Every structure is written in structure tokens, then in C-alpha cells.
Amino acid sequence: MGRARPKVHATLTQTPSIPPLVAKAKELIVQCDYELALRFVRRILEHQPGNVEAREMLGVCLLETGDIEAAKEVGDVLSVQGSDTTCSQAFQILVQPPSLQQPPPSAHLYLAQLSDEDPRLALQHYQAAVEILFNQLKGKQPIQTISPSHHLDEPEIKASIVRALIGQVEVWMDPSYDLWCVRFICSGHDRSIEKTSFEPEAEKTCEDLLDLALRTDPDNPEALQSLASVRMSQQRPDEAKQILEQAWMKWKDLQLDDPALPPIPDRLTFVRLFLELELYTPALLVLQGIMAADDQEVEAWYLEGWCLFLMSESAKETGDKLDDMSWDELAKDARDCLEACQVVSLSFLPLLLTQSVL
């Protein structure tokens, strides 16, 4: 092994062979070693600035080596075509290849995420990604992926389409964009209740986007979850409950290692919606699965404590037991969960302080 190192160094000091560099970058991305993969991507782009595959990997690495805000404000400066290219500029290059080759849909998805200050632009990028993906689904356009050895099959393309459509729904529903939502105050007794109501254009657009998502992939839990959120914003809680429970039934009995199981952040979103709709038992069951996979998930501990507290308040008000537990038993369990949440969150403090110093 000791003799191999000079050979590798000699290879890197000469004009490199691009295919091995591309293969190594892909391998590192699969291993989630994005910082090291970024070095190989830089090397590729130094010698082949027009390499579309390397540019797509560049987009992956830039997003994965930091949060979106950090990427936008600070950016990883790369040497591309002899000029300093910031994060946003790198993604613009992705969707404007010098050749006739169609840009990959991921390029538009990256730019949509980076365009939160311009919702119209974000919507345009999401829509461009949807159009490319639909063309791929219909066989009108070759499928571009990070790894040619990985064949993007029909279910994966459909899932990507649904995610892009839901991304548009989230832009329309975002209350920070005054163009999309109307807020009004309802005064009653000693309290004021702030509610959100859709503009007519936003409501119809969200309905159309979700209709297309569910026609593309009828059993997609993420699309059903998004539809439930829309129904709640429309003050239609009974429909929201029915839709959310329908979505949960799709994956509630899956094993923890089943790839069809939604990732933990998506399951936490389900829990928050369950709690808002006062569906406490499903919320606890979902949290139980999350804890089994990762008992260091701070938000899961917090949500479990909050769920038990809400159950305690309901049991105290009605005088009945919930899940065979009295209100004081539920309150004790809620306190235990919130104390555990505090302990888990404090355990991450040294790591966060170390990262801030670095």
C-alpha cells in the first residue's frame, strides 16, 4: 500500500483522465463524502468546463456541504472556466449548457430551492423540472442521472415529478409571500385568532398541482400529505383527517429498513399534522417508529412530550382516560419526554460549539 501513494500523486499532477475522476466523484457522493467529491468535481471542471455530468455533481455537492442560506450568502467559490463562480451562478451554468444537451431536471430543482427571495422564479424552475421529467417519462428525452450505471426507473421519475409539483404548492402556500395568501384577524372575546385564506388564484393552482401529482402517482404519501395541508388551510379538517389517515395507511406497517418508508423529516411532518387535527394515537405510533430508528432525534422527543401534554389536558377537561391513562399519568410522561428532549439537545451542544469555532 505504501508504494501506491506516489503513483496516485503522479497521476494527479499530469493531465488527468476524466472518466476515472468522474467515477471517483460518483463513488464519494454515494458515500456522502461531499467535501472530497467536490475536489474531484473541481478537477474535472478545470479540464472540461462543459462536462454536464460534473456540473450536476457540482450542484449536489454545493447543496450537501451546507444549508441553502449558507450556500446563497457565502457560497463555495469554484474555479469554472477561469472565473470565480458562486453557488447560484454555478446552478445557472447547469441549466445553460454550452452544448445542445438538455439540462438535467435536478439543476432546475436546485435553483428553485435557491430562489426563495423570488417566488415566481422558483415556480418557473420547478415547472421546468416537471416538463423535463414528463418528457423522460414519455421516452421523448434521454434520462440524465449522476451515475449512468443507475437506471432511473418509472417509479423514481414519478416520485421526482411529485416532489417538484409539491415544491410549487409549498411556494404558493408560503405565508411569507403576500401575493399568495391573505391574512385576516377574527376578534372574539379577549383573544384574536389569525387565520390564513387562499387567494382564488393560489387555491385553484394548488388544487391543479396536487391533482396532477396524484394522477401521476396516486399512492404517493407526500402528495396526500400536501393535500391534507391544503384542506386544513381551507378550514376543511374532516377531509384533512381522512386524507392524512389514507396517506399513513400506505406506510404505517412497513419495516424500518424498507426504502418505501418516508424519511424521518417527512414522518415528523405527519406527526405535526396529526397533532393539529387532534389525532393523538397515530401521532404517538409514528413517533414510536422514529424513536426506534433514532432515539437522538430532538424534535421527536419534543413532539412526543407535546402530544402527551395535549392528551393530558383533554383527559383533564373531560374526566376520561386516554389510551388507558389518567390525565396526571399523561402529564408525568409528557414531562419525562420534555426532560429527555432537553438532555438530548444539550448533548449536541459541544459539537455545535466546535463547528462554530472551526
Phi, psi of 49 (to 5 degrees): -60, -25
Q: Hey, where are the domains in the chain? A: 253-352+354-358
pLDDT surpasses 90 at 337:
yes
pLDDT at 25: 83
| pLDDT tens-digit series, residues 317-334 | 998 888 889 999 999 999
In CATH terms, the fold of domain 253-352+354-358 is 1.25.40
Burial group, residue 72, by CB count within 10 angstroms (0-12, 13-18, 19+)? middle
More confident residue, 67 or 278: 278
pLDDT surpasses 90 at 148:
no
- The percentage of residues in the chain with a pLDDT greater than 70, rounded to a whole number, is 69
Whole-number Å distance between alpha carbons of 252 and 245? 10
pLDDT at 267: 93
Report, as an integer, the average pLDDT of 37-45: 83
pLDDT at 322: 85
Distances (CA, A) of 112 to 87, 116, 129, 190, 316: 13, 7, 9, 42, 47
pLDDT bin (cut points 50, 70, 90) of residue 82 is: very low
| pLDDT tens-digit series, residues 198-211 | 566 788 899 999 99
* C-alpha of 62 from chain center: 15
| pLDDT tens-digit series, residues 83-124 | 444 555 555 555 555 444 566 787 788 778 777 778 888 899
The backbone region for 189, taken as left when phi is positive above 0, alpha when psi lies in -120 to 50, beta otherwise, is left
Evaluate the CA torsion angle 301, 303, 309, 312 in order and state its sign.
negative
